[in-house]
């Protein structure tokens, strides 16, 4: 078995892979891949995925949960279109590649973007602090975990209408959904296979867009009215996400996961900080517990170190091309034993080089 530190699509529990594969062959006598999404058996799956999301995250009354397509990338557009109000202006916090994408796409549908804070000056290696949202904007958008740079908001900004791309840390820890108007997340970082995108939206905000160009598919009100079935949903992705949520619930929910994720991150950062061959690439107080970015203090050792972790059956460790170095993604399903294997490779490398 390989230790998959890849940034996405994500590792999922082995039991989930097994159950999902079984349903490809037999889902009540059909394959999950051929069953009609209108059939009561699949409608029950969608209902359960929605219900589990609400239970696991503690989604309060007055919110709708949707599973749509298009990834978080289409989410950039969908959120801008649905949150547009009289100002047609929104505040964005720019903490990396994905925030920059959200900013770009909001501009394309007619939002005037105020970039009220940015960490671009230091290659997105920190989270801007002391952020105050102006009053004359329709909403504030931020990215809770920066998958590529390896930073994470440990305190969320405050705003009257808060919107968040939580693609890479949703379900990794407890959150207060009531603080948000809209949360969205591509499934493939911590929830399930690529294909589904999760939206958690306050019912109050549905149907209030001032955009004149709202494609039917992107109208969250229309999607909510149709229970995410305005067209064919990503059936297999929703099914597998449902299995994963069930597994998460059975293993103590996000509260328990948060403890495990804290322990995994602490173990790896402790090694990065104490091992003279490695250093972290972002501000310590803003380090992500999902995507740990680090590099060698001596780049000439790269080839040798790469050989070592590869021979320990580790995969997915190279950093994103915009950052370089290494990135260890510690998503929910990654066991602490995999982190121990990586830490041992790092320790052994230091012993050999000492
Ligand atoms: C991966 C990622 C995206 C892009 O997701 P797609 O589903 O591929 O469009 C957006 N935001 C964040 C934070 C991500 O990690």
Residue 145 Cα: closest atom of ligand 1: 13
Which residues are known catalytic residues?
Answer: 98, 165, 189
Pocket of ligand 1 (CB under 6 A): 8, 71-73, 98, 143, 147, 165, 167-168, 186, 189
Q: What percent of the chain has pLDDT over 70?
A: 100
Average per-residue pLDDT for the chain = 97
Q: Are 144 and 156 in contact (CB under 8 A)?
A: yes
Q: What percent of the chain has pLDDT over 90?
A: 98
Q: Are 109 and 77 in contact (CB under 8 A)?
A: yes
Mean pLDDT in residue range 30-46: 97
Domain limits at 122?
14-250
Q: What is the pLDDT of residue 354?
A: 86
Q: Could you tell me if 242 and 257 lie in one domain?
A: no
pLDDT category of residue 175 using cuts at 50, 70 and 90: very high
Positive or negative, the CA dihedral 9, 13, 18, 20 is negative
Pocket test for ligand 1, best of 189, 237, 322 (most atoms within 8 A of CB): 189
- Does the structure show a pLDDT above 90 at 43? yes
Q: Could you tell me if 114 and 184 lie in one domain?
A: yes
Q: Are 91 and 140 in contact (CB under 8 A)?
A: yes
- Compute the distance between CA of residue 124 and CA of residue 110 in angstroms, rounded to an integer: 26
Q: Which one of 223, 250, 277 terminates a domain?
A: 250
What string of DSSP letters covers 162-175?
Answer: EEEE-TTTTTSS--
Q: What is the pLDDT of residue 38?
A: 94
Q: Could you tell me if 235 and 273 lie in one domain?
A: no
Q: Could you tell me if 74 and 97 lie in one domain?
A: yes
Which protein residue's CA is at the shortest distance from atom 4 of ligand 1? 72
Q: What is the pLDDT of residue 65?
A: 98
Q: Could you tell me if 44 and 125 lie in one domain?
A: yes
- Compute the distance between CA of residue 284 and CA of residue 270 in angstroms, rounded to an integer: 11
Going through the chain in order, the beta strands assigned E by DSSP cover: 3-4, 63-68, 89-94, 112-118, 140-143, 145-146, 151-152, 162-165, 182-186, 197-202, 278-280, 291-296, 314-315, 326-329
Q: Could you tell me if 22 and 148 lie in one domain?
A: yes
pTM above 0.75, yes or no: yes
Q: What is the pLDDT of residues 293-340, one digit of tens each?
A: 999 999 999 999 999 999 999 999 999 998 899 999 999 999 999 999
- Does the structure show a pLDDT above 90 at 1? no
Q: What is the pLDDT of residue 51?
A: 98
Which protein residue's CA is at the shortest distance from atom 8 of ligand 1? 71
Q: How far is the CA of 294 from the centre of ligand 1 (A)?
A: 21
Q: How far is the CA of 72 from the centre of ligand 1 (A)?
A: 5
Q: Which one of 250, 265, 296 terminates a domain?
A: 250
Q: How far is the CA of 96 from the centre of ligand 1 (A)?
A: 11
Q: How many domains does the chain have?
A: 2
Q: Which one of 210, 225, 250 terminates a domain?
A: 250
């Amino acid at each position: 078995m390989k230790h998959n530190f890849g940034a996405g699509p994500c590792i999922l529990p082995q039991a989930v892979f097994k159950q999902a594969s079984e349903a490809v062959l037999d889902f009540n006598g059909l394959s999950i891949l051929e069953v009609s999404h209108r059939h009561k058996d699949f409608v029950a799956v969608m209902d359960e995925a929605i219900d589990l999301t609400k239970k696991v995250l503690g989604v309060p009354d007055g919110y709708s949960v949707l599973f749509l397509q298009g990834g978080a990338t289409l989410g950039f557009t969908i959120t801008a279109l649905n949150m547009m109000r009289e100002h047609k202006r929104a505040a964005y916090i720019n903490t990396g590649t994905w925030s920059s994408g959200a900013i770009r796409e909001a501009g394309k549908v007619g939002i005037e973007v105020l970039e009220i804070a940015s960490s671009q000056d230091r290659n997105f290696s920190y989270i801007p602090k002391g952020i105050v949202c102006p009053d004359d904007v329709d909403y504030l958008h931020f990215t809770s975990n920066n998958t590529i740079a390896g930073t994470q908001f440990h305190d969320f900004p405050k705003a009257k209408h808060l919107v968040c791309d939580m693609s890479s840390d949703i379900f990794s820890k407890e959150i207060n959904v009531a603080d948000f108007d809209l949360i969205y997340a591509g499934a493939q970082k911590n929830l399930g296979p690529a294909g589904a995108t999760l939206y958690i939206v306050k019912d109050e905000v549905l149907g209030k867009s001032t955009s004149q160009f709202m494609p039917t598919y992107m109208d969250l009100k229309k999607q909510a009215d149709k229970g995410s079935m305005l067209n064919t949903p990503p059936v297999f992705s929703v099914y597998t996400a449902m299995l994963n949520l069930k597994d998460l619930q059975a293993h103590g929910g996000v509260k328990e996961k948060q403890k495990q994720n804290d322990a995994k991150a602490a173990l790896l950062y402790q090694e990065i900080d104490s091992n003279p061959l490695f250093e972290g690439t972002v501000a310590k107080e803003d380090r992500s517990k999902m995507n740990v970015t680090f590099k060698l203090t001596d780049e000439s050792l790269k080839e040798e170190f790469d050989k070592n972790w590869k021979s320990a059956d580790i995969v997915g460790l190279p950093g994103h091309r915009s950052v370089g170095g290494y990135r260890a993604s510690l998503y929910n399903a990654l066991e602490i034993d995999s982190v121990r294997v990586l830490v041992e490779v790092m320790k052994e490398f230091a012993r050999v080089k000492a």
